[in-house]
Structure 1
Amino acid sequence: MTSLADVEFVVRTIAQTAVDNEKYFGDLDAVVGDGDLGYSLARGFEIVLSDWDSYDRTDISTFLSKVAIAITSRIGGTSGPIWGTAFLRAAAVVRDKTDITGNDVVAMLRAAIAGIMARGNAELGDKTLLDVLAPVADTIEAELVGESGASEIVAASAQTARAAADATTPMIARRGRAAYTGERSIGSPDAGAVAVAVIVEALAANWDQRDRTS
């Protein structure tokens, strides 16, 4: 069972990782994209961190919805709608819940993926963050069937995320600014996919040290 405190840890880790890796994500995006991914994510998630204590924590869904609104209002370009949609769709799956199960987490990821696909008119294989999110959801689901513990699940997810991000390198980008470069996008990993991998790796690295009382 995952508590609100665990969800807070995940969101705070996402936000802090986005801020800490602003230059790295931007440099990756500049290879074949417009280079604004790092800046956009950092500006949006800075607001999440600065307004952290003000978010309504009545339940997990309400908390995630408030974060989604903050992200959408501050992140520029396509990143705001994409990340905001992901949080909103995930929130809708766990309405009124203060604790969630592993199966809820999988359902939240699946809902986020569906939302991103609809909002970005993207599919798996288009060389986007979806190509990491979907394998991570599959990994969590498989680990749950195997009755792995939370730490094992997060660690396995990090390995999957990194491998999936690396696997975007030979793909041709079909969505976003990188799509305009055609075959020039081959040979560089998708920046959004790498960003998701870095975030999941940060979650795995710090999972056992999270504060379950906050």
Structure 2
Amino acid sequence: MSDARVESVVRTITTTCIENETYFGDLDSVVGDGDFGFSLARGFENVLAQWDTFDRSDTGTFLQKVAVVMSGRIGGTSGPIWGTAFLRAASQVKGTQEVRGTDVVAMLRAAIEGIKARGGADLGEKTLLDALAPMTDTIERELAAGTSPADIAKAAAATARDAAEATRPMQARRGRASYTGERSIGSLDPGAVAVAVLAERVADTW
């Protein structure tokens, strides 16, 4: 991917989170405190407001600037977690202006490890990791198979959606939803759904 393509993906993520504020909030209100959509929207509105000021000397620097704005402006746990994800991803492409498929996988793997470390979460605990990790596995597998970028994006989106749906029977082990214990069973994890929605939008606009 070129710098322009990376910017396009980040911009798509930004506008999609803003547009889905109510939907993400409604998902979170089932067993959480309902602020997930609000927090993401406010954080990405700040990203959008500062969009033209970001340093674009290389892809890593651009993503780092996005991460800093998100970390400082998103409330609750979402800011640190999403900011860390972008920051860890940025570290994999520092000084890079052409992002290869293998770089994308490395960025996502780094983001996953950052989320685990920052949030103390792991797979199977009903968080965004339960969609992000399988999606990354699909991207890596499709790259190895020589699949085209557009088709990889579609496959990644399909995996993320299936994985998000698979959080329904899980019991939440992290975040505010974990306080509800078994009542969290039967609801979708809002973070995992957000990953699916974002992957689908990226695939649709590739």
| TM-score, normalization by structure 1 | 0.96
Within 5 Å, give how 1:46-195 maps onto structure 2.
46-195=45-194
Rounded to whole Å, the distance in 1 between the matches of 2:14 and 2:30 is 23
CA positional deviation for 1:82: 0.2
CA positional deviation for 1:41: 0.1
User: Does residue 19 of the first structure (1) align with residue 14 of the second (2)?
Assistant: no
Q: Deviations over 1:166-201 (max 9, x none)?
A: 000000000000000000000001001101100100
Q: Give structure 2 stretches of 5+ with no counterpart.
A: none
Letter in 1 for 2:7: E
Letter in 2 for 1:6: R
CA positional deviation for 1:100: 1.1
Specify the alignment match of 1:210 in structure 2. none
- Deviant stretches of 4+, over 3 Å: none
Rounded to whole Å, the distance in 2 between the matches of 1:55 and 1:87 is 14
Rounded to whole Å, the distance in 2 between the matches of 1:179 and 1:171 is 11
Rounded to whole Å, the distance in 2 between the matches of 1:142 and 1:168 is 22
Rounded to whole Å, the distance in 2 between the matches of 1:72 and 1:163 is 29
Q: Alignment RMSD, CA only?
A: 0.5
Letter in 1 for 2:51: W
CA positional deviation for 1:51: 1.1
Specify the alignment match of 1:206 in structure 2. 205
Specify the alignment match of 1:7 in structure 2. 6
| TM-score, normalization by structure 2 | 0.99
Q: Give structure 1 stretches of 5+ with no counterpart.
A: 208-214
CA positional deviation for 1:50: 1.4
Question: Is the partner of 2:30 in helix, strand or coil?
Answer: helix
CA positional deviation for 1:95: 1.1
Rounded to whole Å, the distance in 2 between the matches of 1:126 and 1:166 is 14
Rounded to whole Å, the distance in 2 between the matches of 1:3 and 1:127 is 34
